[in-house]
Amino acid sequence: MQRKLWRSQGNISNLCITSLEVDSVLSQLNYGPVPEYWDESMLDRFLGLEMVEYEVLTEWLLMLVEKGFGYEELTIDRAFDTVLLLQEATRKLRQSANVT
């Protein structure tokens, strides 16, 4: 359902979100760059997205910074790192699926 929302909007600035929704997503992405700390709900939600969806997440994080939503720099940095790691893990999963 989330994926459909992101794709259907076409433009990240069209999203209407509340601080509760932002906090929820950021708390999931704030596990940091250690995959061993990622829990099952976070992996279920974010691992295996399409590459364009990771790009949307990155744009969304940039928008939070640019619009001055007031989140700590460390929180946003961890979220960026996590998105990049999820993207790489998804690539590896897809490559290994093609090999076997």
Length of the chain: 100
Residue 3 included in any domain? no
Domain extent for 99: 69-100
- Say how many domains are in the chain: 1
Given CA atoms 65, 71, 74, 77 in this order, what sign does their dihedral have?
Answer: negative
Provide the pLDDT for residue 80: 94
Please count the CA atoms within 13 angstroms of the CA of 40 that sit on its side-chain side: 0
Does a structural domain hold residue 40? no
pLDDT in tens, 23-69: 889 999 988 778 888 889 999 999 999 999 999 999 999 998 988 88
Q: Does 78 fall in a domain? A: yes
For Cα atoms 20, 23, 28, give the angle at the middle one, nearest 5 degrees.
Answer: 130
Residue 97: inside a domain, yes or no? yes
Dihedral sign from CA coordinates of 91, 92, 95, 100: negative
Is 84 part of any domain?
yes
In a domain, 85, yes or no: yes
